[in-house]
Structure 1
Amino acid sequence: MNITSLLENTSTHPDIACEHGLSLYIETSGKNILFDTGSSSLFAENAKKLGIDLGKVDLAILSHGHYDHAGGLKTFLSLNDHAPLYIRKEAFGPYYSQREDGRYHYIGIDTELLSSSRLILTGALTPIAEGISLFSRVEGTEFVPTGNQSLYRKEGDSYLPDSFTHEQYLLIEEGETRLLISGCSHRGIVNIVKSATEHWCKPPTHVIGGFHLYNHRTGEPETPEVLDAIATLLLATKARYYTCHCTGEENYRYLKTKMEDHIAYLAGGDVLTC
């Protein structure tokens, strides 16, 4: 199984551009999967440079209803005429971020996509193909990111804390590999890993995704105490972690000192083989 980072906040490759967002191309033994599309059409430009034909994608997945993961969806649907898009119905909600100026900025996705005949609305557990499924039910509350405190759902004239029922996670089991992929881990990476472990009755062997440990409103990383606790719990799974996007580079560097070779950074253009 190969995973290519089509787009991420950073890039270590001179020809691969970056932006705030995430997009992954996953090649399994049976399916080619697109997981998220970044903030714009840039993911498609990078895919072309990497020699990846998005027209051959068998299915697409949106991790949650924020623009930095869904901004390229229309581009993808124009380049690929057959792949279904697996998405939570709640992903079309009116989501906002409160910035330092106190104002609320819309960060949701284009609701015109609701009219697409290629949408497949997912549930708490959605099987896709042999060894491939999506889940969205995460009930744990340990170390939920403090950055969530600036994220809201608008109901009428009120802005209510986002519950992230629109977030979902990808599970792929192939041979001895059990891969968990999360877009932003708003429900807390520790809780998400625990839910995946319950699904398989054993922990994942590999985990990819943003951990949302950076608070965009305050500009502050999580505290060392929180990062220490997260590192300890993740290490206990013995999985290999590849983080990116909303983890925050400072947070990643700190986790690296604790987790050593159990964690690495997945930048734009990087290819991972599991």
Structure 2
Amino acid sequence: MKIVTLAENTSVSEEFRSEHGLSLYIETETHKLLFDVGASSLFAENAEKLGVDLSEVDTLIISHGHYDHGGGLKTFMEINDKAAIYLNGQAFENHFSKRANGQAYIGLDQELFCNPRFIFLANDFVIDDELCIFANVQGQRCRSTANADLLMEKDGQLMADDFCHEQNLIIREKNQLVLVAGCAHRGIVNILDHMAINYDLQPTVVIGGFHLYNRSQKKPEAKELIEEIGNALKKTEAVYYTCHCTGKEPYQILRTMLGEQVNYLATGSRVSL
């Protein structure tokens, strides 16, 4: 399995531009897939530099309904006319972030909503023997306090986002069981618990953001929460590749705790499993 980071907040070199967003290209024995498409067309620009042919992608999974993961949707559909595109059924609802001067819209482009290529999911969904999508993660362990600044609109009223629009991907290939998360708004520990309780599965590799940095307030989560998460991850046998919303300071704390069990993905990173 090959994982190439097409868009992330940082870059491995000046050759690749970065942005607040996430896009991963994952190549398995039977699939060429994308997990998220970043905030803009940047993922496509970097894909060309990295030798990734987006027209050959057969599957796209959008992790949740925030622009930094689905902002490149229009660009992708202009490049690729065949891939199945999986989103949660609530991904196109209106989502906002609290800012100093009010609320900013951070949802997906509403003009794309009626595109017939979208496959909207309400529950867990098995694509094939290799790919499975799951949502509706419960549990309150180690939840990010930064979620308090994220809102959704229901019946014309703004309220705390419940992240029912968030979905995760399981990839099975040979001896690898890979969990891919976007921002883990529901909490990476709760997502792992969900896999264990509902699927009796323990991933060998976990990839994604852990949402340990509050971008609106420009500050990381409390060290105590990060260490609590680190202690939970340390008890597993998985290797972690984190990125995007985890934040540099939280990552350094996790790296100190977990050592080589945790690594960082930046734009231009390549990982082979």
TM-score for both structures, normalised by structure 1: 0.97
Taking the TM superposition and a 5 Å limit, the aligned residue runs for 1:218-257 are: 218-257=217-256
Report how far residue 273 of structure 1 moved.
1.2
SS at match of 2:186: coil
Question: C-alpha root-mean-square deviation of aligned residues, in Å?
Answer: 1.1
The 2-side partners of 1:44 and 1:141 are apart by: 36
The 2-side partners of 1:198 and 1:131 are apart by: 20
Q: Percent identity?
A: 46
- The answer to which of 191-200 and 159-168 deviates more is 191-200
Q: 2:118 maps to which residue? A: 119
Taking the TM superposition and a 5 Å limit, the aligned residue runs for 1:121-200 are: 121-200=120-199
**1:89–1:202 CA distance, 2 compared to 1 (3 A):** closer
The 2-side partners of 1:21 and 1:237 are apart by: 27
The 1-side partners of 2:52 and 2:229 are apart by: 35
The 2-side partners of 1:15 and 1:199 are apart by: 42
Cα offsets for 1:25-62 (capped at 9, x unmatched): 00011011111111100100000011110000001110
Cα offsets for 1:251-274 (capped at 9, x unmatched): 101111111111010111101112
The 2-side partners of 1:182 and 1:81 are apart by: 25
Report how far residue 199 of structure 1 moved.
4.3
SS at match of 1:268: coil
Report how far residue 156 of structure 1 moved.
4.5
Report how far residue 202 of structure 1 moved.
3.2
Aligned length: 273
Report how far residue 157 of structure 1 moved.
4.6
- The answer to which of 176-185 and 118-127 deviates more is 118-127
- Stretches of structure 1 lacking an aligned partner (at least 5 in a row): none
Report how far residue 197 of structure 1 moved.
2.5
Q: 2:97 maps to which residue? A: 97
SS at match of 1:78: helix
The 1-side partners of 2:195 and 2:130 are apart by: 13
Report how far residue 198 of structure 1 moved.
3.0
Q: 1:259 maps to which residue? A: 258
The 2-side partners of 1:232 and 1:130 are apart by: 32
TM-score for both structures, normalised by structure 2: 0.97
- Stretches of structure 2 lacking an aligned partner (at least 5 in a row): none
Q: 1:11 maps to which residue? A: 11
- Kindly provide the amino acid, as one letter, of the partner of residue 233 in structure 1: A
